[in-house]
Structure 1
Amino acid sequence: MKQLISSLILLSTVILGGCAQAPVPLHDPVAELTLSIAALGPDVDPNEARRAAEISYSYASQLAQDYGVTTAPLVHNSKVNAGIKDRGLCYHYAEDMQARLDRERFKTLVMLRAIAEPKVVFLIDHSTAVIAPRAGDIYDGIVLDAWRDGGALFWSPTVEDTRYNWEPRMRVLERKRELRVAREAVAG
């Protein structure tokens, strides 16, 4: 009798298990970024979009490893600024991400840099890499921010990233240079 009950339980488990829904595919962030990069314009090569997305995700993680990130980004910044760690500030992530993606020599995509000045007085500037269609600017592109989440890639169309007011890097640097020159002239 025990053998019959065991067999019935096993049979019902197999039958019911066979009726279960197939597992829902898990979220695929690389595929999502690929689609977003490809959607930047009709001239964007889908193969380049896929390669850029794959590299962006893997390299963001690699940078956090290389920088020895084990804490929140602002804590890591403190370690860099104190000389305990060599790299890992936002602009390190941005310049390294840009350099890595530039090595791919994309024909339909371009790497740019953006800076957001702080919205609150006690905060500091934030830098990021932006990927855009070849003829585009930062506002046509996608922010690739590996610093924000400590090596986990954050990405968003630049104009939809409401956490920061992104501007082209050179525009911000030129404005800062002009302010510094004006202050030096006043100080005399």
Structure 2
Amino acid sequence: MTKLIFALWATLAALALGGCTTSPPTASQDDINELAQAIQSLSPAVDPAEARKAASIAYTYSQQLAREWNITDPAIVHNAKVANGLRERGLCNDWAQAMTTRLRQENFRTLDLHWVTSPPTAFRIIHHSAAISAKGASMNDGIILDPWRNSGALFWAPVREDTRYNWRPRMEVREELLSGAIPY
């Protein structure tokens, strides 16, 4: 029933906001440098070159996917387009999978990647994203990398400071959903 309500709500939102489109995301070298510094500051053991590489990929890959997936609307409107077959990809889990897969291809020695999930609540649907942390550190001590939220324009923040969502390990949330501990 929740999925049906979401689909109806998302469809109505898409129709109401049909004229609202987003601009293609862009990032400056300053944006990339700021994220690289934040990643490097996760631990003295983080390699500065790896921090720069991860930051650059996070921004440029988000922009690439936004173009490939034809993201032209606010995220929730794009979700409705995917749900109604007007777009193939661009749900938050698509972004999370693509971002974690791409960053893992780098085989970072001093960084770990996490697929994180915020469970559904009465007022919010489930949300997935990528997070990056120092090698061996908890996802909670990392940085959220969320391109879905702003339609391909990368949002990032320390996981603990991103109070908009209740980020937890993906598999933990999955198990709770499957067991019925969290209603979906």
Q: Is 1:161 aligned to 2:166, yes or no?
A: no
Match for residue 147 of structure 2?
Answer: 146
CA contact (8 A) 1:90 1:128 kept: yes
| Unmatched tracts of structure 2, length 5 or more | 1-27
How many aligned residue pairs are there? Answer: 156
CA contact (8 A) 1:38 1:45 kept: yes
Match for residue 63 of structure 2?
Answer: 61
Match for residue 106 of structure 2?
Answer: 104
Report 1 or 2 for greater relative contact order, CA contacts < 8 Å, sequence distance ≥ 6: 2
Q: Is 1:177 aligned to 2:178, yes or no?
A: yes
Q: Where is the helix percentage greater, Structure 1 or Structure 2?
A: 1
Query: Whose radius of gyration is greater, 1 or 2?
Result: 1
**What's the CA shift for 1:123?**
2.7
Percent identity between the two aligned chains: 45
Aligned residue for 1:149, secondary structure, equals coil
CA contact (8 A) 1:112 1:137 kept: no
TM-score (normalised: structure 1):
0.79
Q: RMSD value over aligned CA atoms?
A: 1.8
Match for residue 75 of structure 1?
Answer: 77
**What's the CA shift for 1:177?**
1.1
Distance 1:118 1:179, change over 3 A: closer
**What's the CA shift for 1:42?**
1.2
Deviation readout 1:19-78 (Å, 9 max, x if unpaired): xxxxxxx88111110010001111100000000000100001111111111111000000
Aligned residue for 1:62, secondary structure, equals helix
TM-score (normalised: structure 2):
0.81
Aligned residue for 1:28, secondary structure, equals helix
| Unmatched tracts of structure 1, length 5 or more | 1-25, 184-188
